[in-house]
Amino acid sequence: MKRLATSWLAIGLCCLTSSVLAAPDEKLKAAAEAAKPALIDTLRDMVMIESGSSDVEGVKKMADFTEARLKALGAKTERRKVTHGPGGDIVIGTFEGTGTRKLMLIAHMDTVYERGISASEPYKVDGNRIYGPGIADDKGGIAVVLHSLQILKDAGWRDYAKLTVSFNPDEEIGSIGSGEFISELADQHDVVLSCEPTAAKPAAPHESLLLGASGTATGTLEVKGLASHAGAAPDRGRNALIELAHQLLQTMDVAKAIPGTQLNWTTAKAGTVRNQIPEDAVAGADIRLTVPDGVAKLQAALDEKVKDKLIPGTEVKVTITPGRPPFVANERGRAIAQAGQAIYAEIDRKLLIAEMTGGATDAGYANRSGKAAVVESFGLAGFGYHARDEYIDTDSIVPRLYLMTRMLIELGKHT
Ligand SMILES: [Zn+2]
């Protein structure tokens, strides 16, 4: 294999791609093929564990399962309590190698489904599809990590300084208790490969790697008015509900003038009884961001808009609470995705590079400081996540194992 004398990380683009061979690594390919049945067994075991984000017992079972598997692979493991939310542990596995690069793999153990989902959506094999809650998002990602590391362990690969695996229990609720930790851990690594699913046929013509995902934030618009008898003395009141309506209308399009931001008012509440002019009203907005400074710009624009009031004497306040940061891959991330395309070409498959998705992922936390090169969607191909017919495409198992193992070998080589 051609080895480059210079550092691809320093140079950025191109070098990694050029060092990828056109012919497949037959040994690795055979190992990926041999691993397929075991990966499916692992998937079934994990789908049998219901692990909705709020299901503390379920996510603990997933943590027990994945920690045991990482230990069996030779990792030093650690569990960390999440700092916010319903609870659960982040499972961290660390491998010490003989090389120079620091590599990190992330996936999440929780699903969007409530306890009892298996009764209506059981694990089910149908041709090249396997259905089950969370099977693609993101148990497929965990399976790719575990079985790729098994293949590489069997091959005696240790060409890394440190290889870290992190599985969190709260991705589907914004990683509210693990996101900060993911950011900090990612900053200690050169590369982070995030293992969310890639869309399967027929939803997508080809599998892909992802370089961007929107961030999230919550907007809150609060109006303080003055209560008064709605029948006897309405004019003495300051109607918070009416003022809220005015503010919603005049701010509804505010994000349209700020590229990379989106705001939609989605909830509202005002008043408590019919016969009182309401003194409080509040609305909530779903905010999506594809630019790092989106929150600040949106806040400034909203603050300016709400100065214009309909009802004098009311107080209006807008706050934006940032959620998951937007993910916009850096040039090193892009170079890795391009190397992925070359790796897929070795096994005669086409890999697309997707620039941006509306769904937020933990790649945003990993990429926040820009220190590590981050690429998303190393999980299995699937579809129907967050819906009623979630499945993975078993034809993606071998290519995805080949991609991950081949990529790690390649990333480890570069000094
Ligand atoms: Zn996910």
143 and 68 within one domain: yes
How far away, in angstroms, is 174 Cα from ligand 1 center?
10
> Which positions are catalytic?
110, 171
Q: Which amino acid is at 115?
A: R
156 and 45 within one domain: yes
The CATH number assigned to the domain holding 360 equals 3.40.630.10
How far away, in angstroms, is 108 Cα from ligand 1 center?
7
120 and 26 within one domain: yes
Q: Which amino acid is at 54?
A: S
pLDDT at residue 20 above 90? Answer: no
98 and 237 within one domain: no
209 and 89 within one domain: yes
pLDDT at residue 67 above 90? Answer: yes
pLDDT at residue 329 above 60? Answer: yes
Q: How many other CB atoms are there within 10 angstroms of residue 286's CB atom?
A: 15
Length of the chain measured in residues: 415
347 and 202 within one domain: yes
pLDDT category, 14, cuts 50, 70, 90? very low
Nearest CA to 359 out of 213, 217, 255, 259 is that of 213
227 and 177 within one domain: no
Q: Which domain holds residue 265?
A: 215-322
302 and 408 within one domain: no
How far away, in angstroms, is 279 Cα from ligand 1 center?
41
Last residue of a domain, one of 322, 350, 379: 322
Q: 137-186: per-residue pLDDT in tens?
A: 999 999 999 999 999 999 999 999 999 999 999 999 999 999 999 999 99
Burial class for 15, CB neighbours closer than 10 Å (0-12, 13-18, 19+): middle
Q: pTM of this prediction?
A: 0.86
Last residue of a domain, one of 322, 337, 358: 322
Cα–Cα distance list, 377 to 81, 132, 292, 380 (Å): 26, 19, 21, 8
283's enclosing H/E stretch is: strand 280-289
Domain count, the chain: 2
SS3 state at 135: helix
How far away, in angstroms, is 281 Cα from ligand 1 center?
34
pLDDT at residue 6 above 50? Answer: no
What crossing angle do the helices spanning 26-48 and 141-154 adopt, rounded to 10°? 140
201 and 308 within one domain: no
Please say whether the beta carbons of 365 and 186 come within 8 A: yes
259 and 160 within one domain: no
Task: Please name every residue paired with 65 in a beta bridge, in sequence order, or none if there are none.
Answer: none
Torsion of CA 64, 65, 66, 67, to 10 degrees: 40
